[in-house]
A and B are shown apart, each in its own frame.
Chain A
Amino acid sequence: MTDPARTGASGRLDARIPAGPIAQKWERRRFEMKLVNPSNRRRYTIIVVGTGLAGGAGAASLGELGYNVKCFSYHDSPRRAHSIAAQGGINAAKNYRNDGDSVWRLFYDTVKGGDFRAREANVYRLAELSVNIIDQCVAQGVPFAREYGGLLDTRSFGGAQVSRTFYARGQTGQQLLLGAYQALQRQIAAGTVTMYPRTEMLDLVVVDGRARGIITRDLVTGAIEAHVGDAVVLATGGYGNVYYLSTNAKASNATAIWRAHRRGALFANPCYTQIHPTCIPVTGEYQSKLTLMSESLRNDGRVWVPKKAGDTRPPAQIPPEERDYYLERKYPSFGNLAPRDIASRAAKEVCDQGRGVGPGGRGVYLDFSDAIQRLGEATIRERYGNLFEMYERITGENAYRAPMRIYPAVHYTMGGLWVDYQLMSTIPGLFVGGEANFSDHGANRLGASALMQGLADGYFILPATVPDYLAQHPLDALDASHPAFAAARREVEDGVRRLLGVRGGRSVDAFHRDLGRIMWELCGMARNDAGLRKALGEIPALREDFWRNVRVLESGEELNQSLEKAGRVADFLELAELIVIDALHRTESCGGHFREESQTPDGEALRDDANFCYVAAWEYTGTPAQPRLHKEPLVFENVPLATRSYK
C-alpha cells in the first residue's frame, strides 16, 4: 500500500531533505513550497487527530490560515491532552543568559543527546524554530517564570551546560497547552475549526494511495462515523503505555498510529523508548500508573544506595562510608545530572545487585540532606516545595526528613510513524506531528525538547507543509459513500463487535498488566537476544489468549470504557511484537536502546555506526510477525559522529 515512488524496491526512503547548507535548508524549502490562494483555502478540509501541543497548535494555526479544519480527540476537552502533564520546561536557543547558547549549540546537543540516530536537517530546523515558539507562547499569554526585572527567566535542565530551558513553575506543559487550547477555542468560535471531542479515530481511509479520511467512534453514543478530508494529520502522542506502567496518562495509546501503520504507513525505530530515572517506585499490584518527579530534583539531590547488598537499615543509620553515590562515582563530570538513559540504567544495575532500597528492593535514594544543610530547608522548599508536596501526597513520606525513593519508569517513545522532512508519512496526505512521529530525538530525547518539537510541528511546520501538499496534488472530490470508506467503516464495526463477542473471563486491564510485565522485563532498560526471543514467544500467545478470553461487558451503543481500553490494548498487543522485533534486529546499543551484547568493558553503551547508522522503518505485511524493514541511512555532515561520553 505504501507509495512505491517513495520507498524503492531497495527499501530506500526519500526524506526529501532540501539541498544546501544546513542553516539555509528550511528557508529554502519554505520558498520552494507551493501556496494555496487564500480564497481557495476554505474548500480544503484538513482532518487533525489530536489536540495536544502538536495537534492543538496545528489545528489552530491551519484554521487561522482559513482551511476548513476538523479536529478530533478522545478527551472530553482539547485541554486534557497528555501534554498537560509536562512539568520541567521547554528549550529554546534564545541565549538570554549570554552563556554561549546558540541555535547551532542546541542543534548539536540534540543530535549528540539523540546518540546520532536523528536526522540532522530536522533537528536543525527544530533548534531554529525554538526561538519563535517562545515568542508565540508569550504573545498568547503563557505565564513563563520571570525575573524581578519583568523579563523571562530560564534554567539549566537535564544536564545541559547552558540555561536554555523556559519554564512555568512545575507545570510548563499545562501552560503551553492552555495557550494552544485557547488559540484553538478562538478558531472554534470563529467557525474555522470544528471540534469533535470524545471521538476516537479507529481507522485511516486511504483512497488511490492517498490519505482521504478517518473512521471514528463517538465515545458517548457509540456511533461509528466516516469523515472525509483532503489531508489527515495525526498528532496522537506516544505509546509508552504498551508497558502498562508508565508516566503517561492512562488513556495515552497507539491506536491511531497503529491503524495508520496497518494501512501502510511505515513505523520507525519502535524500540527507542526513554526510561525516566526519577519516578516514584511501584508500591503494589494495584499500581495503575507511575508518577514522574521532575528531573530538576537532580540539581540538588544526591543519588545513592547502600554499598552492601541487602542492607535494610533506615537511610539515616547508614554511615557515609557505607553509601555508594554511584552516579558521582561513575560519571565524575556530570555526576547526578548524567543523562536520563545513563542514570536509569545505573539505577537498574545497582538494584539488580541487590542494593536497591524500599519495598521490593526496586528503588534508590534521592537525598537532599546535604543540600538542606548547605542551602537551608527554606531554599529547598522554595525550589521544590510543590514536588516534595506531591511526593508526600503519594507516599505519605516527608522528603525533608528522609531521602526520597525513586526508580526509573517508561516515559517517552522516540519511535513513531516515519515521516520525511515535510512531516509526511509514507502514505501521501498523511502527516504526523509531535510524539507520534519518530522525527527529531534519535535514540534518546533530551529533557525539555518534546514540548519544543510538538509546538514546532504544530505552529510552524505543518501549517507550511500541509498546504504545500494540497497545492501540489489536486484531489477529486469524494464522499463517505466511496467504497473505501464503506469498507473501512465495516471493518471498524466488525472490530467492535468482535471485542464484545469474546465474552471471556479476564478483564482488559489484566491482559494489559501481563503485556506490561513482559515488555518491562524483556524489552525494558536493558535488552538481550535471549530475552527478546522469549518475548517474541510470549506476546503472540498473550494476544491469542486475549482474543479468546477477554471480557468486555455492556454494549457498543453507549459510553463503554472497557470497550475503549480493549481496542487500545488489542493494538498494543500487536505493536509490542514490532517493538521487540526492532529491538532484536538492532544489535547495537544506542540511547534508550541498550543491548547487553553491545557494551564497553566498563558497561557503557556501545554504538555500531558501521552497521546501524540508519532509521529502521517497518512496513506492515499483514501479519505482525513478519514486518518488512526499510532503511533510511543517516548522514552526519555537521556533527561528526562521536561516542557519547559523560564521564
Chain B
Amino acid sequence: MNGTAVVRASALLAFWDTTVGKKVVMAVTGFVLVGFVIAHMAGNLKVFAGEEKYNAYAAWLREAGSPAFGHEQLLWLARIVLLAAVVLHLVAAWQLTRRSWAARPIAYARKAALRTTYAARTMRWGGVILLLFVIYHLLHFTFGAVGYAPGQFKPLSVYRNVVYGFSVWYVSAFYIVAMGALGLHLYHGVWSMFQTLGLTGASAERLWRRVAIVVAVGVVAGNVSMPIAVLAGWLR
C-alpha cells in the first residue's frame, strides 16, 4: 500500500472515530436507504399494473444493466451496497446510542420535552423494529421461508407471492405496523440527515421539514396500499 493510501485509510479511521463522523455515516447510509425505500416502493406499486407487468419488473431487476452486466450482477451490486449501508447505519446507531446513554447515567426524576418530536425520540426503537421487519421481510418475500402455506411461494412469480403473502391478515397487520415505524423514522430521519450533513440554513431547514413529511407520508401510503389492497380483495 503506498503512502497516500495509508493516510487515506487512517484518515477514514479517524473520521469514523469521531461521533460527528459516525453521525455523518448514519446520514449518508440513511440517505442510501431512503433512496432504496422510495425506489423499491415505486417498483412494487407496479403490482397494481397486473401480474405480467409486475413479474416482468421482477425479472427485469435480475437482468438490469445488461449487456454491460450479466444476470443478477447489477442486482448483487445493489444488494452489497444496501447490506453495507444497513450494517454501517446499524453499527453507528448502536455505538452512538450507547455513548449517549453513558452521557446521562442518572435519569431525571422529571423531564419535560419542549421542542423535540415523538419521531425523534423513537428513532432508536423504531430502528430496531425496522431491523426486525427487514429480516422478516427477506425471509418472507425473498426466500419464502415464512408466511406461506407449503408450495405457495414460487421464486419469480412475485405477484402471486405478494398476494398470497398479504392475504394472511396478521402478516399484513405486521407490515402495516412496520410501515408506521418507518414513517416516523423517515419523518425525523430525512430532515435530520440534512442537519447532520450541514446542508441547511434558516430557510432550507423549513424546506427539509416539508420534504421529510412528503417522503414519510408518501412511503407509508404507497407501501400500506398493497397489503390493504390484497385484504380488500382488489388484488387477487
A touching B, CB within 8 angstroms:
no
